[in-house]
Amino acid sequence: MSDFKKILVIGSAGQIGSELVPELRKIYGNDNVIATDLNPTPCAKIIDFGPYEILDVLNREALTTIIKKYGIDCIVNMAALLSATGEKNPMLAWNVNMNGLINVLEVSRENGIKRIFNPSSIAAFGPETPRDNTPQDTILKPKSMYGVTKVAGELLADYYVMKYGLDVRGVRYPGIISHETLPGGGTTDYAVAIFYDAVKTGKYTCFLKEDTMLPMMYMPDCLKATIDLMHADKSTLKHHSDFNVAAMSFTPKTLTESIQKYIPGFSIDYNIDYRQAIADSWPRSIDDSSARAEWGWKPSYDLDAMTQDMIEALKLKHSKGLI
């Protein structure tokens, strides 16, 4: 299956980490996936079923100690500040996103780590990039600090592949939609919040304009992309840490229309803020033909399939008083 056995997930309490850890534990066994985060009280799904350690990705010594303690041979680095939070505190975004990654790459080099997964994002693109069907290899001149760290991170990761032979991999995540853990501090977060508000109140106030089209993906496809790339045969990969992956693109208006198929009375209004400028600098749709050709990427969910699933899951949570 794979040449690694003990996986360390850094930043495991976030939106993606909190669902990736249980998925990896299903494949590798509960004790072989070590979840870590700054958060002392992550969700039960993370702490109740396997090892959990508090870890700051900026603390290289603590990172090394955990690698040696558990005999780690694969690292997934999900610790990052996202685009909106990054604009509020650019230096913190640079510090966590870049120095965190440098720590991961350096300890990997020193400790013979066999595989590293470090995500990039559609934020790596900028206003000069072609916005429709954005190519794999194209202009990378982002205007957000988050985007700057993602481009620098892709280049740094590829440098470690070339210079030291480390096996670093990553995809450029679009906006990720899910119902387990809320995203924190992204520009695409509206596409999650809208579902919670649709189920709880039947209305939503959106911070992006109704015609802002962005690439998005449902969590099951995000997990599949992550795990499939982690497991891909190295000899078929021409790219490493910067794969475009696509599933769907929609605007707040088309998402509203999709939600209205399941919640007919749902209504939306708009109160645009600083995140509009970030969204306006990002692609509308993504060409993921390299990921399809190099490791067989294929998404499963389209907009209506995702909407139906999200609403069912959140209605259940709402009926139990969980949201």
Of the candidates 123, 171, 177, 229, which one interacts with ligand AKB according to CB under 6 A? 123
- Determine which residue in the list 187, 212, 226, 249 makes contact with ligand AKB, applying CB under 6 A: 187
Active-site option among 28, 52, 70, 146: 146
Among 14, 186, 220, 252, binds ligand AKB (CB under 6 A): 186
* Strand ranges of the sheet holding 33-37, from the earlier edge strand across to the other edge: 52-54, 33-37, 7-10, 74-77, 115-117, 168-169
Task: Give one word for 154, left, alpha or beta, with left for phi > 0 and alpha for psi -120 to 50.
Answer: alpha
- Label the pairing between strands 248-250 and 214-218: antiparallel
Rounded-to-integer distance, Cα 81 and Cα 321, Å: 30
CB-based contacts of 211, cutoff 8 Å, min separation 6:
251, 252, 253
The residue within the footprint of ligand AKB, chosen from 46, 47, 122, 161 (CB under 6 A), is: 122
Give the integer Cα–Cα distance in Å for 279 and 126: 10
By CB under 6 A, residue 63 contacts ligand AKB: no
Q: Does 83 bind ligand AKB (CB under 6 A)?
A: yes
Q: Is 36 in the site for ligand AKB (CB under 6 A)?
A: no
Q: Is 103 in the site for ligand AKB (CB under 6 A)?
A: no
196 is an active site residue:
no
If phi > 0 it is left, if psi is from -120 to 50 it is alpha, else beta; for residue 89 that is: beta
Binder among 36, 103, 108, 188 for ligand AKB (CB under 6 A): 188
Return the range that interacts with ligand AKB (CB under 6 A); candidates 65-73, 157-165, 184-192, 245-253.
184-192
Q: Show which residues are catalytic.
A: 146
Binding site for ligand AKB (CB under 6 A): 82-83, 121-123, 146, 173-175, 186-188
